Amino acid sequence: MRPFTHFNARTVKGACALLAKYDGRAVLNAGGTDLLSTLKGENLFEYPEAVINIKAITGLDDIVERKGTLRIGALTKLSALVNTPLLNERYPALAEAARTVATPQIRNAATLGGNLCQDVRCWYYRYPRHIGGPILCARKGKGPCLAVKGDNRYHALMGAKKCFAVCPSDTAVALAALDGQISIVGKEGERRIAVTDFYHPLENSLKRGEMVTGVEMPSVEKESRQAFLKFTLRKPVDFAIVSVATVITAKGGVCVDARIALGAVAAGPVRATKAEKILVGRPVDETAAADAAEAALAGAKPLSMNAYKIEIAKTLVKRAILESL
């Protein structure tokens, strides 16, 4: 790796202060499982001057459900999300999403905050310098997106503008279906933003000097059923080609609440609100699931090579809904 200055932050305030001081030229290191790769690959348009270790900050790895809200600290390891009984019992979509991330070694180090903030996997963006790169592109601030004319088999189906990479985070998809919000701390104090609003085609919502401190979501209804399905070429290791998270509540076989999130189809997880509306009030069966699946993907605008993702996404939506039976 190229040189950088290293700091150990002891508090959130300290970390934010350092970030502000370096004004966009410093990065935070939690699990390091994505950051070190982007540093070695020099994917960021400008190599950072400083790396700030935040693993020593205490109090950011709790999982607590209290007064109708579940809060999870940003430094919670993915392996903890997988193994915590509370999540497995009441928030299985999130536990399952964490379980499908990468590999056991990575989950032992990777954190929820890191998983949400990780950089995109577009193979043009990530193209290494030392084999005839780097490839400049819209995300790096120079030139068009090469995936549009190139190999876009893994790229976005909806809502893309300028950059067509998809959000690689699995936990983000589960959180979107759970109405999750991301807590952010910065110079101006603390704020919360819905997971579905956190991502944009060229970057996420973090302003200079801000860091993610955790997520929270409303407690789930006892009668709700959750599913998380991830389509990959291989298990595990691979990032999602398409993923779906659902939280469906049915009373007497009839759907009273539906939350459906699509992953790996856009810059962030997408709530399929049309599909959700179609389901509410209908018995949960094959036909309803198929109709919802159609509606969920109705807004898809495929590129030259990724139309197949639509069919797979529809299948996953259907199967996820039927899993709630």
Partner 1 sequence: MADKYRFIGKVTPRKDAVDILTGRAKFLNDLKLPDMLYGKVLRSPYPHALIRKIDKEKAERLQGVCAVLTWKDVPDWKGGTPRCKRVLDQKVRFVGDAVALVAATSEEIADEALRLIDVQYEVLPHVFDMEEALKPGAPQLYEEFPGNVVTPGVPFFGPKSLKEVVMGDVDKGFTEADVITEGTYSYENIPNPLPPEAPGAIALWEEPNKVTLWVSNQASYMDKVTLFHVFNREVEVRSIGGPCGGSYGSKFMSWQVQSHAVLLSRATRKPVKVCMTKEEHLAAFTLRPGSRMAAKVGMKKDGTVTAVSGRWVIDTGYYSMTTQSQVAVGCGEVQIMVRCVNWNLKPTIVCTNRNASGIVRGFGGQELKCILIPLLSLAMEKLDIDPFEFLKKNYVKPGDGYIWRDGIWYTYRGVDYSEAMDQGAERFGWKENWKGWLKPSSVNGTKRRGVGVGVHGNADIGEDASEAYVRLHPDGSAIIFSCVTEHGTGQRTNFVKMVAEVLQVPIEKVSLSPADSLFTPYEFGPAGSRGTYAIGSAIISAAEDARRKLFELVAPRLEAAPEDLDTEDGAIFVKSNPQRKLPWKVMGIDRTCTGYGRFEPDYTLSNCMMSFVEVEVDTETGQVALVRVVNATNIGQVIDPQGLEGQLNGCLGSAGIDSALFEETVIDQGTGHTLNANMLDYKWRTFAELPQIDNVVLETPFASHRFHAVGVGEIATSPGPSAILMAASNAVGVWLHEYPVTPERVLKVLGKTAPWAKKGGAA
Partner 2 sequence: MVNGRIHELEVGDQPGQVKPWDTLAHTLRETLSLTGTKVSCDHGACGACTVLLDGQAVLSCMTLAVECDGQRVTTVEGLSDPQTGRLDPLQQAFIDYTAFQCGFCTPGILMSAKALLHENPSPTEEEVKEALSGNFCRCISHYQVVKAIMAASGKEG
Residues that bind partner 2 (CB under 8 A): 1-6, 8, 29, 32-33, 36-37, 39-41, 51, 53, 55, 79, 102-106, 108-109, 235-237
The C-alpha atoms of residue 163 and residue 169 are separated, in whole angstroms, by: 17
- Which of partner 2, partner 1, none sits in contact with 312, Cβ below 5 to 8 A by type? partner 1
321: Cβ contacts below 8 Å, ≥ 6 apart: 227, 246, 248, 258, 260, 279, 284, 288, 289, 292, 293
Q: Which residues contact 285 (CB under 8 A, 6 or more apart)?
A: none
Nearer to partner 1, 203 or 286 (CB): 286
Query: By CB under 8 A, is residue 131 in contact with partner 1?
Result: yes
Site string for partner 1, 210-239 (x = CB under 8 A): ---------------------x-xxxxxxx
Based on CB atoms, which residue is closest to partner 1, 23 or 311? 311
Q: Kindly write out the interface string for residues 85-124 of this chain, putting x where it contacts partner 1 by CB under 8 A and - elsewhere.
A: ------------------------------------x-xx
Give the per-residue contact string, 144-183, with partner 1 (x = CB under 8 A; - = no). Answer: --xx-xxxxx------------------------------
DSSP string, 195-215: HHHHB-SS-BSPPTT-EEEEE
User: Rounded to the nearest 5 degrees, what angle is found at the Cα of 180, between the Cα atoms of 213 and 314?
Assistant: 135
CA atoms within 13 A on the CB side of 148: 11
Taking the C-alpha atoms of residue 119 and residue 43, their distance in angstroms, rounded to an integer, is: 9
Min CB(156)–partner 2 separation in Å:
23
Q: Which is nearer to partner 1, 38 or 273 (CB)?
A: 38
